[in-house]
Amino acid sequence: MAFRKDLVQISSWIMPNTKVLDLGCGSGELLRILQQEKNIEGYGIDNDINNIKMSLKNNINILQFDLDNGLKDFESNSFDYVVLAQSLQVIKNPQELIKEMRRIGKEIIVSFPNMGHWSSRLQLLFRGMMPITQSLPFKWHDTPNIHLCTIEDFLIFCKENNLNIEEVLVTNHKQQASLFTKIAPNFFGQIATFRIR
């Protein structure tokens, strides 16, 4: 399986020999790479037993926690980075979780699928139906994604919550940044990755 572009971006933002907490870490791919290439110390959190097994196989520290129950077991400022890669949209209370991430991490990294992508807009405009896209492949009734947002929404969210955006990367359906994603990220971007302090 190809390494997800947002994970490549995230790993490029992480300095060597740091401490990383990866929320919704899946099979632990990001942490595995970071451990091997950047000698980081880290923990992954996931609540799917199959991801737990795969993460153990990947030799990462994996904690089976439910992110909706918060991160109260972690001490303040105990990590250099807290990462939430493409899981923001499944969280019951994203505002609370991001607040917690900031409490624990010196820096936080959040990536999410952009609901403002042109294909989502066109589907709603012309078909009058909830969008189904490459990064959001579910029907409205069986989707785990309960808090979808656009890049514009997230920028406003950051402003309202005093989150300082250090860096943003927006990529298209080919997982690449293009001229289009640079000119009109909220229209052409499929995945957005934010580095926040």
Among 65, 118, 157, 187, binds other proteins (CB under 8 A): 65
3-state helix, strand, coil split of the chain in percent (to 5) is: 40, 25, 40
68 binds other proteins (CB under 8 A): no
Could you identify the residue written with the tokens 């052409």? 188
Q: Is 54 or 84 the residue whose CB approaches other proteins more closely? A: 54
Could you identify the residue written with the tokens 């807009």? 121
Among 24, 74, 97, 155, binds other proteins (CB under 8 A): 74
| Residues between 10 and 29 that touch other proteins (CB under 8 A) | 19
49 binds other proteins (CB under 8 A): yes
Burial of 61 (0-12, 13-18, 19+ CB in 10 A): middle
57 binds other proteins (CB under 8 A): yes
- Binding segment for other proteins (CB under 8 A), chosen from 10-18, 69-77, 106-114, 149-157, is 69-77
Helices (H), the chain: 5-13, 29-38, 49-57, 94-104, 118-122, 151-160, 179-183, 185-188
- Binding segment for other proteins (CB under 8 A), chosen from 1-9, 73-81, 106-114, 141-149, is 73-81
Could you identify the residue written with the tokens 């943003």? 168
Q: Is 90 helix (H, G, I), strand (E, B) or coil?
A: helix
Q: Is 62 or 109 the residue whose CB approaches other proteins more closely? A: 62
36 binds other proteins (CB under 8 A): no
Among 55, 111, 114, 135, binds other proteins (CB under 8 A): 55
Could you identify the residue written with the tokens 């950047």? 38
Which residues are at the interface with other proteins (CB under 8 A)?
19, 41, 43, 49, 52-53, 55-57, 59, 61-65, 73-75, 78
